[in-house]
Amino acid sequence: MKLSSITAALCLTMLSFWVHAHNVTIPKDISELALKKVTDDVYVIHGIQGLPEKQNKGFISNSGIVVSDDGVVIIDSGGSLQIGEMILQKISEVTDKPVVAVFNTHVHGDHWLGNVAVRNAFPDARLYAHERAIERLNSGEAEQWLDIFGSAMGDAIEGTRAVVPDTALKGDETLKIAGNTYKMHHTGKAHTDSDIMIEHPASKVLFAGDIVIYGSTVSGARPEDFSAKGQIAAVEYALGLPVDIYVPGHGPTGDREIPEATLRFLEVLYESVQTYYDEGLADFEMRDKVVADLAEFSGWSGMDRIGRLISFVYQQVEAAEFE
């Protein structure tokens, strides 16, 4: 074998290993809900990429699971009672320890409406969220999320009720739960004003919530809640943390390539809107140009609905002009 072909073969082997190491199958259907082992004691259940509908029962976001001898911690409980119960069922296949805590990464319904399943099965589990999430949910937003998910899914999520997190976080705490250390991170308004990222130093894993999204338009589902500049800063912050594995709110778990893609999406989006704003175009006039600038992400879900996201970024660009 010539040296060049040996090198080529070696490169191919390394490449396939590299791809394999980060190969996460994103389910197409609720029947594919599965526990993916990420490290010795960390698992992720990856949600499908799409909007909540009858068929998926709100199984659209990722749930992280940390198992220890003293109990189980869940990061995001899914979008319905049914999904919460399926998550608990999957956990019971790898441990008989009780769930002692849930972190809800932010206010959006797909990340906390499954709390009811945990509360039913483990009445003593503590439910943590950023204080702003609890404040918003307790001032009427919990019922709004129930209504939104109820009208999208009807009796497919029967029995789902709002169990609002009971323990407020500021986002700078270090907590000891079931023998594990968890570091909270909050960088101000980003994907929402209520985001917490949860670092699990023992495994060098960051549960990033929707600060990091891969494979679907970043913050496209609820652009009214987000700050483009704030989320760019939050992803940069996440990239600076001493972790090796990123669990996004939506999309595959992986290394830095996951948040780096989120960052590129947001930067290209913002710069593109800024450019056409400076040229005097209105938001609806620049839509196709912005989509063209985002060509790298043309396969991501939600690109067909990106007009709303563009108009919210447009408003933010406009507001920045008058700061």
> Which one, 190 or 286, has the nearer CB to Zn ion?
190
Q: Give me the least distance between CB of 24 and Zn ion, in Å please.
A: 17
Q: Which is nearer to Zn ion, 141 or 210 (CB)?
A: 210
Interface region with Zn ion, contact rule CB under 5 A, candidates 152-160, 197-205, 240-248, 249-257: 249-257
In terms of CB distance, is 249 or 254 closer to Zn ion?
Answer: 249
Near Zn ion in 149-188, by CB under 5 A? none
Residues between 194 and 233 that touch Zn ion (CB under 5 A): 210
Binding part of the chain for Zn ion, among 27-35, 76-84, 148-156, 248-256 by CB under 5 A, reads 248-256
Among the listed ranges 96-104, 168-176, 244-252, 307-315, the one in contact with Zn ion (CB under 5 A) is: 244-252
Tokens found for residue 34: 């599965």
Site for Zn ion (CB under 5 A): how many residues? 5
We find the least distance from the C-beta atom of residue 181 to Zn ion, in angstroms, to be: 26
Residue 108 interacting with Zn ion (CB under 5 A): yes
| Shortest distance (Å) from residue 135 CB to Zn ion | 17
Q: How far is the CB of 63 from Zn ion (least distance, A)?
A: 11
Q: Measured between alpha carbons, how far is 141 from 107 in angstroms, rounded to an integer?
A: 9
* Residue 110 makes contact with Zn ion by CB under 5 A: yes
The answer to whether 41 contacts Zn ion (rule: CB under 5 A) is no
Report the alpha-carbon distance of residue 251 to residue 302 in Å, rounded.
13
Residues 59-78 binding Zn ion (CB under 5 A) are: 61
Residue from 52, 79, 248, 249 touching Zn ion (CB under 5 A): that is 249
What's the chain look like in SS3? CCHHHHHHHHHHHHHHHHHHHCCCCCCCCHHHCCEEECCCCEEEECCCCCCCCCCCCCCCCCEEEEEECCEEEEECCCCCHHHHHHHHHHHHCCCCCCEEEEEECCCCHHHCCCHHHHHHHCCCCEEEEEHHHHHHHHHHHHHHHHHHHHHHHHHHHCCCCCCCCCEEECCCCEEEECCEEEEEECCCCCCCCCCCEEEEHHHCEEEEEEEEECCECCCCCCHHHCCHHHHHHHHHHHHCCCCCEEEEEECCCECCHHHHHHHHHHHHHHHHHHHHHHCCCCHHHHHHHHHHHCHHHCCCECHHHHHHHHHHHHHHHHHHHCC
- Phi, psi at 167, each rounded to 5°: -125, 115
Name residues contacting Zn ion, limited to 255-294 (CB under 5 A). Answer: none
Considering the complex, state which of residue 79 and residue 254 has its C-beta at the smaller distance from Zn ion: 79
80 binds Zn ion (CB under 5 A): no
Per CB under 5 A, 84 contacts Zn ion: no
Backbone dihedral angles phi then psi of residue 182, each to the nearest 5 degrees? -130, 130
For the bound state, the minimum distance from the C-beta of residue 105 to Zn ion, rounded and expressed in Å, comes to: 8
Q: Which is nearer to Zn ion, 84 or 249 (CB)?
A: 249
List residues binding Zn ion (CB under 5 A). Answer: 61, 108, 110, 210, 249
